[in-house]
Structure 1
Amino acid sequence: MTTYPVNNVEICAETYGDPAEPAVLLIHGGGASMLWWDARLCTELAARGRFVIRYDQRDTGRSTSFPTGAPGYAMSDLALDAVGLLDALGVDRAHVVAQSMSGGTALILGVDHPSRVASLTFVSTSTGDEGLPPPSADMPRLGTPDFADAAAVEEYVVRSIEAEAAGNFDETEARALVRADMARARNYEGALTNHFAMTFDGPRNGGFGDLTMPVLVLHGDADPLLPLPHGESIRDAVPGARLAVLAGMGHGLSAPYWKTFVDELIEHTAHAGEQS
């Protein structure tokens, strides 16, 4: 892992594979560090001929952290961080893959920085349009943990993963992830807080309908946080977008779906490469 000076912050990133291969930039959701893109998944993508980049967004992992509850930045700054990281790595264009909340960051990249984006893949995310269904009523209300109690924080995040998993939950794997995430975070309370306290701006130059690069939407039909119509809303908003529904998958990209994810992404990025 290497830390790069980017956009007046420090961004920690890790790469897999040959830099000469097509680049895939993985951006995880709100509060999630690069560890939430499992190293085994990254290795599999790299083995299929992709240069894989995972990184800690600001306020996660080893990247710059801001005062808890007062981040002072906007989602467009997260997009500029991604552009700056590509610059630091010498990557002209990347296939951008965004999970959950970071779909908004990917949208800004695709609309305002299209020359840097070879394709977009939206995983378990949404247009945010009015009228889309709310989270499942079956999801438990977990409240807020006592951040002075590390065991309570760990349990809170593990149970959050379980609540979003729609049954595809491995407690041993989840707990190992959370412990590793907590151990390397500069400020774990900030990581769980600040992405939700930032300014949620959008693209300056349009919206989903103005995306010109190939777009793939991956969405689980059992997602309890953003039910399937959220993924369908992106497909319907983007001209030519393709939706792949992952049967039985919840909100997170759990291990049973890695092979499908990799297969879909390899096909999508190969097709995008042919069009560029």
Structure 2
Amino acid sequence: MVHETMMPVNGIHVCVETFGEPNEAPLLLLAGDASSMDWWDDEFCRRLAAGDRFVIRYDQRDTGRSTSYPAGAPSYCAADLLHDAVGVLDALDVPAAHLVGFSHGGVLAQRLAVHHPSRVLSLTLISTSADGATPPTPPVAAGGPVAVSAGTVTAGVRTVEAPPATDETDWSDRKAAVARMIDEIRAGGGPFTADEPHLRRLAERVFDRSADLAATRLNHRLTGYGPTVRDLLGGITVPTVVLHGTLDRRFPAGHPEDLARCIPGARLVWLDGVGHESPPRAVWDQVLREILTPAA
């Protein structure tokens, strides 16, 4: 059973969609920064639900159908994005859930496990880094628009810079916005990245569901990550698996290796031929197995 609804969460409205039956083990999907829930493939969600899970995905504020703010003037901070995730669980009367986070969603998952340990049953951290921190080794150079590093770490706090002024994409123009999203996915992907027709359908869906893509793209960067919790990751006790593409250029190999060392008992599993992208269909069997195993 699939159900989408708008829910009041922390004084805003959040679009939430669930797959499966509420009496199954809850599993919360956390998308990357500036990403609506659409980036979690519908069929992928259905297959998770078929594994006896109550799957929850949602549009973070400033994405999709959830509350949007003026571009460049978000009246919220990184902590609010964390509280929204907890608020979604509260709205659904879910005391604790298995968390699956991609990229910035993986950072949110880490913070939930640190600040709200009773709400977390297991962690699956995909294409992410230890608290979004500077890598333990210098990052490799990478081309394409998604390869730009957003910010630095100063005194334990991530300082996030606005996108470069050279980004002249008109995010209100459907054709231009869709083309840009397709280019970014391809630049960050690998040989298993979906074909152009599939990417176009996805990008068009994202555009059509978004209140203001310009705000989406800018505001999450401006909120940053907040004070680091890196030194607290050693206190995480739930089963944790780190999934990382061998072709991920945004977070090279040092990132997942470091993350797996920070969390006691964490397993690092490589996804061969995968870039910095939502898990492509070619590795779904492997990814689904890893997500569902610690949750069993």
TM over 0.5: yes
Once the two structures are TM-superposed, the CA of residue 174 in structure 1 deviates from its matched residue by 1.0
1:212 to 212, 215, 237: 237
| Match of residue 96 from structure 1 | 99
| Match of residue 258 from structure 1 | 284
Query: Where in structure 2 are the equivalents of 1:1-276 lying within 5 Å?
Result: 1-127=4-130, 128-137=133-142, 139-141=143-145, 143-144=166-167, 145-169=169-193, 170-202=195-227, 207-252=232-277, 253-270=279-296
Does the 8 Å CA contact 2:248/2:275 hold for their aligned counterparts? Answer: yes
Once the two structures are TM-superposed, the CA of residue 149 in structure 1 deviates from its matched residue by 3.1
SS of equivalent residue, structure 1 residue 207? helix
Deviates more, 1:235-244 or 1:197-206: 197-206
Q: Distance in 2 between matches of 1:136 and 1:163?
A: 13
Q: Structure 1 residues 9 and 223, CA, compared in 2 at 3 Å: closer, same or farther?
A: same
Deviations 1:129-165 (CA, angstroms, capped at 9, x unpaired): 343342543x224852123433122111110000011
SS of equivalent residue, structure 2 residue 223? coil
TM-score, normalised to structure 2, is: 0.86
Does the 8 Å CA contact 1:121/1:217 hold for their aligned counterparts? Answer: yes
Q: Structure 1 residues 176 and 133, CA, compared in 2 at 3 Å: closer, same or farther?
A: farther
Give the RMSD, CA atoms, in angstroms: 1.7
Deviations 1:153-187 (CA, angstroms, capped at 9, x unpaired): 21111100000112322211111111001001111
Q: Structure 1 residues 84 and 206, CA, compared in 2 at 3 Å: closer, same or farther?
A: farther
SS of equivalent residue, structure 1 residue 193? helix
Does the 8 Å CA contact 1:112/1:203 hold for their aligned counterparts? Answer: no
Identity %: 41
Deviations 1:184-204 (CA, angstroms, capped at 9, x unpaired): 111111111111111421467
TM-score, normalised to structure 1, is: 0.92
**Structure 2: unaligned runs, 5 residues or longer:** 147-165
Aligned length: 269
SS of equivalent residue, structure 1 residue 15? strand
Q: Distance in 2 between matches of 1:218 and 1:130?
A: 17
